[in-house]
């Protein structure tokens, strides 16, 4: 029988995090109301983000995928980017600052990138191969003068394949990987280029650069920003891609981490667009003339299990029992239908889904049977801690959703205590790993994953040698059989054949219940009817260049 969700959040730890997020949202909303003024330029778009702070502005962003969306692919460019121009098909990689990239047929570890000529940073300095080397050094070489620990924390784990790199000439870059790795183009799509000349001009201080950043992207930050309150982006009229010169006069980003605060800001006209509206507000927002935009995209919402000694999730029967105790259809009702109930780590119908034999049904009796086989019952319950966020990019409604799961897991003998933190803190705990003191003994972390490419979507979570600090295998999972499949992906350069290997990997993910696989988001956004020209790509990232505002 389907559970009826109790809307009152009764757990002290959850309420504490919730209240903090409300206070942050209220403060940001107050500032938005006071600082935007009564009259706005006709082309100003104000967006209420789910983040609790302005994403890092120096190049590699923090605040998860939302940071990359709003502060990454706006102010900066990468060598390889995503085609965000269409909503009717999944995005593919396209040339960015690199016109082309090829792997050497005789040596699959050597890649050549041909760079785009004539590109300028916002400060007027030239983009070239030396600038790429400088940017890679700032993430990978701790003895480089420009090395930045904050940016390295965001970017280093994105490109573990890279062994070395060098400028061949001003418009040619050579990258050598540690072993053959067909996923390198996906890895490089995360790495954003900031201006070496600007860093010099700002006294070689990344703190100074933060207030006066310089990328090559379609947007610029000319007047700094106010932490936790707002940042204004203006068009780069000299952007190298004329089709993506922004139509807006200004793009204003306002952190509003609490869903109801975002909805109130939209209703009152203090913002024009909000990320992730509260599901129970969608119908009334539509009735009030607001537009609700959704689309499928490569995302999942999971608990990433710890596999360190003593974790209850080391027992496959417990992992399967937990997955069978999640009422995904009930959660979809809670979310107002704004989700796709999980059938695996990948969404149903995905080209990497394969044919897993373990089915993610809602079956409490089977879950109890598995728990009994594992030695648990009414007199021997599992008591464990899970790290969750109060809000955040892709986190949907983490407080309400996790309370729902907490209640159903209790029915099968798993008692969950939550450790609530803001999203950026959760990201830092995730990067540090389950063994780090910051995890406070938690055996799972609630994390929404970008699953758009083989490395970011699958490999980085479970490869043995990518456990922290080398990578983001948070739970220290290690299985030679899985590693062999990962190696096979890297050595399979034919896309169709690579898909077959990825299907085997996904089948193993599901059949061994390696995560608590809950749902897939549909990326809902609510906006004023004045917002025109937005195309919601099937992607975690979006292009704001084509948007205009009716007066």
Residue 306's CATH number: 3.10.105.10
Verify that 61 and 136 share a domain, yes or no: no
Residue 211 within a domain? no
- Average pLDDT for residues 377-390, to the nearest whole number? 95
Give the CATH number for residue 174.
3.90.76.10
Is residue 320 located within the same domain as residue 399? yes
Name the average pLDDT for the chain.
92
Q: Are 408 and 437 in the same domain?
A: yes
Query: Which residues form the domain of 330?
Result: 296-521
Q: What is the pLDDT of residue 42?
A: 53
Shared domain for 300 and 290, answered yes or no, is: no
Does residue 69 belong to any structural domain of this protein? yes
> What pLDDT does 20 receive?
43
Q: Measured on CA atoms in the order 504, 507, 512, 514, is the torsion positive or negative?
A: positive
| Whether pLDDT at 10 is above 90 | no
Q: Does residue 6 form part of some domain?
A: no
**Sole residue written with tokens 């306002």:** 254
Residue ending a domain, choose from 167, 198, 229 = 198
CATH code of the domain containing 273: 3.40.190.10
pLDDT of residue 495: 87
Residues 364 and 465 in one domain: yes
177 found inside a domain: yes
Same domain, residue pair 359 and 414: yes
| 27 pLDDT more than 70 | no
Please report the DSSP string for 250-314 in residue order.
EEEEEE--SHHHHHHHHHTTS-SEEES--GGGHHHHHHTT-EEE----SEEEEEEE--STT-GGG
Q: What is the pLDDT of residues 147-171, one digit of tens each?
A: 999 999 999 999 999 999 999 999 9
Residue 4 lies in a domain: no
Q: Could you tell me the pTM of the whole model?
A: 0.84
pLDDT tens sequence across 111-130:
999 999 999 999 999 999 99
476 and 403 assigned to the same domain? yes
388 found inside a domain: yes
Phi/psi at 415 (5° precision): -100, 120
Average pLDDT rounded to a whole number, residues 336-349? 92
Q: Which residues contact 522 (CB under 8 A, 6 or more apart)?
A: 294, 295, 296, 297, 338, 339, 340
Determine, yes or no, domain membership for 203: no
Same domain, 329 and 459: yes
Tell me the average pLDDT across 386-394.
Answer: 89
155 vs 11 pLDDT, higher one: 155
Question: Residue 36 — pLDDT band, cuts 50, 70, 90?
Answer: very low
Residue 514 lies in a domain: yes
Please tell me which residue, 522 or 414, carries the higher pLDDT value. Answer: 414
pLDDT value, residue 551 = 86
Structural domains counted in the chain? 3
* Lowest pLDDT segment from 2-6, 195-199, 317-321, 329-333: 2-6
Same domain, 383 and 286: no
Same domain, 265 and 351: no
Stretch 213-237: mean pLDDT: 96
* 66-107 confidence digits (pLDDT tens): 999 999 999 999 999 999 999 998 899 999 999 999 999 999
Which one has a higher pLDDT value, 393 or 251? 251
Q: Kindly state the percentage of the chain with pLDDT values over 90.
A: 84
- Is residue 231 scored above 90 in pLDDT? yes
**227 and 356 together in one domain:** no
Q: What secondary structure does DSSP assign to 387-438, as a single string?
A: EEESS-TT--SHHHHHHHHHHHHHTTTEEEEEEEE-HHHHHHHHHH-TTSGG
Shared domain check, 453 and 340: yes
Task: Report how far apart the first and last C-alpha atoms of the chain are (Å, whole number).
Answer: 51
* pLDDT, tens digit (0-9, with 9 covering 90-100), for 69-78: 999 999 999 9
- Looking at the predicted structure, is the pLDDT value of residue 523 above 80? yes
């Amino acid at each position: 029988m389907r559970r009826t969700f109790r809307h009152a959040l009764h757990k002290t730890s959850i309420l504490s995090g919730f209240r903090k997020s409300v206070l942050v949202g209220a403060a940001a909303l107050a500032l938005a109301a006071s600082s935007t003024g009564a009259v706005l330029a006709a082309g100003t778009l104000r967006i209420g983000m789910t983040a609790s702070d302005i994403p890092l502005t120096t190049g590699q962003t923090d605040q998860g995928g939302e940071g990359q969306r709003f502060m990454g692919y706006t102010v900066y460019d990468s060598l390889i980017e995503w085609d965000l121009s269409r909503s009717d098909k999944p995005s593919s990689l396209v040339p960015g600052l690199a016109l082309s990239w090829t792997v050497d047929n005789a040596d699959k570890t050597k890649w050549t990138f041909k760079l785009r000529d004539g590109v300028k940073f916002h400060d007027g300095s030239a983009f070239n191969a030396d600038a790429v080397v400088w940017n890679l050094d700032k993430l990978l070489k701790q003895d480089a003068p420009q090395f930045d620990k904050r940016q390295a924390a965001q970017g280093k784990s994105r490109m573990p394949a890279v062994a070395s790199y060098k400028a061949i000439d001003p418009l040619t870059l050579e990258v050598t990987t540690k072993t053959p790795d067909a996923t390198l183009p996906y890895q490089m799509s995360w790495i954003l280029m900031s201006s070496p000349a600007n860093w010099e001009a700002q006294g070689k201080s990344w703190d100074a650069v933060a207030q006066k950043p310089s990328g090559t992207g379609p947007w610029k930050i000319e007047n700094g920003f106010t932490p936790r309150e707002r940042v204004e982006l203006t068009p780069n009229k000299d952007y190298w891609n004329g089709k993506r010169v922004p139509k807006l006069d200004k793009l204003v980003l306002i952190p509003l981490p609490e869903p109801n605060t975002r909805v109130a800001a939209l209703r009152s006209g203090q913002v024009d667009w909000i990320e992730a509206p509260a599901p129970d507000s969608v119908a009334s927002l539509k009735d009030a003339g607001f537009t609700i935009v959704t689309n499928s995209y490569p995302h999942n919402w999971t608990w990433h299990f710890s596999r360190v000694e003593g974790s209850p999730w080391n027992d496959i029967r417990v992992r399967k029992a937990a997955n069978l105790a999640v009422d995904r259809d009930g959660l979809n009702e809670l979310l107002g239908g704004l989700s796709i109930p999980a059938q695996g780590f990948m969404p149903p119908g995905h080209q990497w889904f394969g044919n897993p034999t373990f089915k993610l049904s809602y079956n409490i009796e089977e879950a109890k049977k598995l728990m009994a086989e594992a030695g648990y019952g009414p007199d021997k319950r599992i008591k464990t801690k899970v790290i969750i966020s109060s809000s955040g990019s892709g986190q949907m409604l983490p407080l309400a959703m996790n309370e729902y799961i907490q209640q159903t897991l209790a029915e099968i003998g798993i008692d969950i205590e939550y450790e609530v933190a803001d999203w950026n803190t959760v990201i830092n705990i995730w990067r540090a790993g389950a063994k780090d003191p910051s995890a406070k003994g938690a055996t799972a972390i609630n994390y929404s994953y970008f699953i758009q490419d083989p490395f970011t979507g699958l490999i980085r979570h479970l490869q043995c040698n990518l456990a922290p600090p080398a990578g983001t295998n948070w739970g220290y999972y290690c299985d030679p059989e899985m590693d062999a499949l990962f190696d096979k992906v890297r050595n399979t350069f034919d896309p169709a054949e690579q898909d077959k290997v990825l299907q085997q990997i996904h089948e193993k993910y599901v059949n061994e219940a390696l995560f608590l696989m809950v749902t897939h988001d549909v990326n809902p956004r609510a906006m004023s009817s004045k917002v025109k020209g937005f195309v919601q790509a099937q992607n975690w990232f979006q292009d704001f260049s084509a948007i205009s505002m009716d007066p």
